[in-house]
Structure 1
Amino acid sequence: MRTKQTISDQDLQAKLIAGEETAFSELYDRYSDAISAHIRKFVNSSDLAEDLTQEVFIKVWQCKSRLDEVRSIKAYLFIMARNHTINSLKKAMRSDVAMAEVINSFVEQRNDTEEELLSKEYLEYLEKALSDLPYRTREVFRLCRQEGKSYDEVAFALGISRNAVKNHMVGSMKILSASVKKDLGISLSVLLTVFLK
């Protein structure tokens, strides 16, 4: 439970500019929940919102000497949170892990019918892409990626060497990756992570 607010934002701001760590702790206690909730509206992910909130407050501490130009520390925090979140999302879109997180979050926000339709479309796309692969390569891919079998298990089941399984997987991943990137604008790992989990 939060302690009762004892000093004004203006006094808190002055103490922060002076480099008082207790003022920073008070600022964090006072506004971190609200900032995190604000960021969550952009990212739909509690974990990501928490990380971005931490980064916003770190930036405030690092730039505390410039706070004397700020009229309202509260408004400043919200503007900084919004700008930092947007900039982070732009960078994150270049990362497969972050893209998967955003897509996962988006999928969770939709209703079951929408999710089913989108998953069906992606799975149909994957099936079509797989159908262009040679039969044995397709079979190896299904066993390894869709059924989660190890290379050794697949090699034993199909009566081929582990090295042959590996070669089939490398070949299929190259072809599918290029196809998915070209047609969907995402990486194969994102597609598999989100829709074949």
Structure 2
Amino acid sequence: MGNDYVKLSDAELLTRYTAGEEAAFREIVTRYKNSLYAFLRQFLNRHDLVEDVFQETFLQLYASRESFDTSRPLRPWLFTIAANKAKDALRKWQRTATVSIGTMADSQDLSFDDMLNTVTSDSTLPYEELQKDETAARVGQIIADMP
């Protein structure tokens, strides 16, 4: 049956995927993993960021299953999502890589509460992290189970 999915167009795969066929999702990942990974390597020079953004891109597709417009082409959507997530990851990494609490305290007259609010303002709530982790684990398992 997996061989049947290889023959399907992106539009047919999306239709089947939005109807709930996880095998169609696996084929989409298989079909785009190499080109998407190479695309992300052009943006990001850190392997860990490439891996994170790669997975987040497919998480976005997974989460968008019920609302995805199957009349729109998949490839541009995937690569646009990947590019936007890569830009976000770079901004976040640069922000966290260049700012330390000591530097903030020295360069600005901030109280401890001000520094804490600055550091935690980008953090997510625990239930959001749990939900994201559960979805990531599910998508990761699907990817890991692929031949």
1:34 aligned partner: 35
SS in 2 for 1:44: coil
Q: CA deviation at 1:20?
A: 1.4
Deviation track 1:109-143 (CA, whole Å, cap 9, x = no partner) reads xxxxxxxxxxxxxxxxxxxxxxxxxxxxxxxxxxx
Partner of 2:68: 67
Question: TM-score with structure 2 length normalisation?
Answer: 0.60
Determine which structure has greater relative contact order: mean sequence separation of CA pairs < 8 Å that are 6+ residues apart, divided by chain length. Answer: 2
Alignment of 1:6-25 (within 5 A): 6-25=7-26
Is this contact kept in 2: 1:56–1:80, CA < 8 A?
A: yes
Q: For residues 111-150 of structure 1, what are the structure 2 equivalents within 5 Å?
A: none
| In 1: Cα distance, 2:23 partner to 2:6 partner | 13
1:76 corresponding residue in structure 2: 77
Deviation readout 1:165-184 (Å, 9 max, x if unpaired):
xxxxxxxxx9xx64xx86xx
Contact 1:16 1:23 in 2 (8 A): yes
Equivalent-residue separation in structure 2 for 1:16 and 1:92 (angstroms): 33
Contact 1:37 / 1:49 at 8 angstroms: preserved in 2? no
- In structure 2, what is the Cα distance between the partners aligned to 1:71 and 1:64? 13
* In 1, Cα distance between equivalents of 2:92 and 2:71: 27
Report how far residue 69 of structure 1 moved. Answer: 5.5
Q: Give the CA deviation at 1:70.
A: 5.1
The whole-number CA distance in structure 2 between the counterparts of 1:43 and 1:14 is 32
The answer to whether the 8 Å contact 2:49/2:89 transfers is no
What is the CA–CA distance in structure 2 between the aligned matches of 1:46 and 1:88, rounded to whole Å?
Answer: 12
Matched residues, percent identical?
Answer: 32
Per-residue deviation, 1:44: 1.6
Structure 1 residues without counterparts, runs of 5 or longer:
100-173, 183-197
- 2 CA distance for matches of 1:90 and 1:70? 32
Q: CA deviation at 1:45?
A: 2.5
Kindly tell me the number of residue pairs found equivalent between the two proteins: 101
* Distance across 2 between alignment mates of 1:43 and 1:70: 31
Map 1:48-197; keep pairs closer than 5 Å.
Answer: 48-68=49-69, 71-96=72-97, 178=103
Gaps of 5+ in 2: 108-147
Counterparts of 1:35 and 1:21 in 2: how far apart (Å)?
20
Q: CA deviation at 1:5?
A: 2.7
Q: Is the 8 A contact 2:15 2:70 kept in 1?
A: no
User: What is the distance in 2 between the residues matched to 1:78 and 1:28?
Assistant: 13
Distance 1:62 1:6 in 2: 25
- Paired residue type of 1:57: F
Q: TM-score, normalised by structure 1?
A: 0.45
1:58 corresponds to which letter in structure 2? L
